[in-house]
A and B are shown apart, each in its own frame.
Chain A
Amino acid sequence: MDETKDRIYREELFDRLKKSISLKREEECIGCLIKPTLWWVIERPSPKISELERLVGGSCPYLKKAQARKKATCVKSIFEVIRKATETKKLVKFDCIEGLRGFVYPITQGEKLYGYIGTCYTKKDVSIEVLNIFSAFTDTVVREIQKELELSKLYDMIRPRAIALSTVHTVHRLISSTLDLAELLPRIARLSLQIMRANRCSIKLVDSKKQVLLPKTTVDLRKKKIRLKKVKVGEWAPGKAVKFGRPIRGENYLATPLIDEDVIGVITLYDKIDGKPFSAFDQEIMATLAEQAVIAIKNAQLYKEQERLTMGTIKSLSAVLDRRAPGAYVPRASFAKITIAIGQMMHLDIDTLRVLEYASILHDAGEIVVPDEVLSKPSKLTGKEYEIVKEHPSIGVEIIKHIKALKSVTPIILYHHENYDGTGYPKGLKKDQIPLGARIMAVVSAFEAMITKRPYRTVRSIDDAIEEVRRNSGTQFDPKVVDVFLKALKRRDIRAMLEKELYGHK
């Protein structure tokens, strides 16, 4: 404990001691036995004689009238008693002047001495039993107060750390809830700004081939326009933090490296809002936050990589399918866009939208087993041939069921030929029995079939196909989905994309 802390602790101890009701009652009880008594408390281990003179001399009825010489002798003798109590750390009795008595009780904690409680001007001799009771009781009161102080000190020390820990835990939950890097990095930046009470935060990721830090996000609460700058590894605070793999702290900046196996990036904070410099505690908190951020960034990067692989697989499958129907051109990008737009307008979450996107490419994957002569037959199919075609949803499911990432796509593929009125296949499901994704896909895939070239059917115009969808609302299609589909098709971007893909190939 340093000197200041020691002083604060002593002051707090005596403050509580003076307020202690238990001690007051003890004084009253003991006072009854040995009265009249003068009580005094010395609030430091080495009092000065002048202090004692003021304390005792000012209130002792005898000394008030006594000559200066006698007064000095009295104070000096008490001073000697205090010295003895300091040495023995035990209660010391003494004879006061003119046949009066007193005692000094040292207040200690282990080897540490904090001050004294004393009495004088006691006419009756204080029996050893009374003194034992006094010592034991005072000791108990002092210990209780000391325990209270220790607890409160511990509380003051632990509480901010516990709150900081809880903050780190909350940040972990907030940043782990997204796997989208474009959403994750600004979120990390904003949370860092909030915790550090800083004005600007920038996150840069390492491009190890070029030995450069690429700016990914910067949030500045004072400026609206932000310039994103590349920084070479080893230059400026962010570059140095990456080069040396440790935080670089200055008065108005703190660069914390994002360390996985290697350094993958850096979070740099600038300018605290209160104008104070970044502290060692700030550095410690940011190091913990950076550890959480690295995990979240790596997860998001892995997820993106996995998504890329899944999309690659889907596109390969789709390319194989496209080769099955010669002469047919399927503008998949615009159909995916229409499907996602419907999902967004129906307020579906991001994962469901992704599933819809996959389904928009894969819904007819099962057609791969339909013989070429059936698939490209220009005339009406026989009953047997139609039975083969009707199997394509379940075969599509068979094909993709081994790809775990596409598990959620299977109900859409399986039921996208179900009709809202129950007349579809494979199970004849009705209304809400059909999964929503499949109801959306039913509309989009029917629209797709009408406006793209098929051997068995003449191509319809976009407006004709829209009218046909509208006509079948409530029978073949879910009317709610049709309403949203019609709104989506009014969007300029969608219409333009569709027309470009369809008629750009004529």
Chain B
Amino acid sequence: MDINKALESKIHLKIATFFHENQASIDTPRGVATWIGEDRNKVKAALEDLVLLKVLIAHRATSTTGYSYTRDEKLISRIDKLLKRPA
């Protein structure tokens, strides 16, 4: 799956938008699910997809995993364009 394809999914798009708008945020699947108003399990799977695409960084610990936004400026600019494209 590439980023273009991933962001066609509503949940993936909402997660990417959330982190793009809150680039300093680090949150758990539960937290992200609350912010975007989606099911936690679906969000968890989508977060891992976005980690594979390097859109997100996973901070794994024994008790939980925190997710944060990429630091790659080129990728951020590409996502910015994708988020601004007409629906």
Contact = CB atoms under 8 A, between A and B. Distances in A.
A163 B24 CA distance: 9
Contacts of A166: 25, 27, 31, 35
Contacts of B28: 170, 173
Interface string B35-58: 100000000000000000000010
B9 interface: no
B27 to A, nearest CB: 5
Nearest to B34: A166
Q: How large is the interface on A (under 10, 10 to 19, 20 to 34, 35 or more residues)?
A: 20 to 34
Given A166-B31, A191-B26, A195-B26, A173 B71 contact: no
Contacts of B63: 173-174, 176-177
B24 A164 contact: yes
A178 interface: yes
Given A163-B35, A166-B31, A194 B26 contact: yes
Contacts of B62: 177-178, 349
Nearest to B63: A177
Interface residues of B, number: 19
Given A177-B64, A190-B59, A170 B22 contact: no
Contacts of A66: none
Contacts of A167: 24-27
| Dominant secondary structure at the A interface | helix
B73 interface: yes
B23 interface: yes
B24 A195 contact: yes
A139 B68 CA distance: 46
A173 B27 contact: no
A58 to B, nearest CB: 36
Contacts of A177: 61-64
Nearest to B72: A273
A162 B3 CA distance: 28
A173 B25 contact: no
Contacts of A349: 62
B27 A170 contact: yes
A163 B25 contact: yes
A174 B59 contact: yes
Nearest to B71: A273
A-B residue pairs, 10 tightest by C-beta = A177-B61, A177-B63, A170-B66, A194-B68, A174-B61, A177-B62, A166-B31, A167-B26, A170-B26, A195-B24
Interface of A: 160, 163-164, 166-167, 169-171, 173-174, 176-178, 187, 190-191, 194-197, 221, 273, 285, 349
